[in-house]
Amino acid sequence: MKKLFSLTTLFLFLTISVGSAISIASETTDDAKPAASKPAGDAVVMLSNEWGKRACEVWNNDDVLTGGLFESGWVNNLKDDRKYRIIEVYREDCADSPHIQLKLEPKDNKAHCLSGGVADDKWWDFLMWATTEDWTAMGNGEFGPMWGMMSGKLNFEGSMWEAMQNMGPFKNFLLMFGKVATDASKCN
């Protein structure tokens, strides 16, 4: 019975994933892309400590991230005795660079970014990595999270179920890479 449940769950997940991927891949509206204006501020090295701080500011000004992840209950799904959730990211082609973490807490009925910067907590909730080229493409809205994961351009560890339930915010998270003025020509 247990194997049947696992196969049924896998089939259901793949059915939802493929259907979502086809839907996401077929969307070509300009709404999926960040504003045409240049990101504000001087460029910082992609996924540097300063990038993490600026990404946290962008997060806190994004209603889809702050509101959507609070309304879905995602930000309140805290583990152990922590008071925040962690998303950790890194650049696959910058192997010697530190990972960056965003720490997210429930605050004032929002998923608030408490801090962003070099990883200092080993217990992340989600870990994502991609090449510089693919982070840039996702930040420009060229493809979203579902297509990124299915094509192998976005690597992901964490609860796939939670990610699937929060595709709108997940997409906006990736668009942050286009909203922080970034120098992607070097590793940090």
DSSP labels, 104-119: EEEETTEEEEEEEEE-
Q: Which residues 6+ apart lie within 8 Å of 163 measured at CB?
A: 126, 145, 156, 170
Structural domains for the chain: 43-183 (3.30.1050.10)
Query: What whole-number distance in Å separates Cα of residue 40 and Cα of residue 182?
Result: 10
> What percentage of the chain carries pLDDT values higher than 90?
75
pLDDT, position 119: 97
The model's pTM: 0.79
Percent of the chain's residues with pLDDT above 70: 78
Question: Could you give the CA distance from residue 88 to residue 40 in angstroms, rounded to a whole number?
Answer: 23
Tens digit of pLDDT for each residue in 100-139?
999 999 999 999 999 999 999 999 999 999 999 999 999 9
d(CA 120, CA 153): 26
pLDDT for the residue 80: 84
Please say if the pLDDT value at position 11 is more than 70. Answer: no
3-state secondary structure of 21: helix
Q: What is the mean pLDDT of residues 150-175?
A: 95
Q: How confident is the model at residue 5 (pLDDT cuts 50, 70, 90)?
A: very low
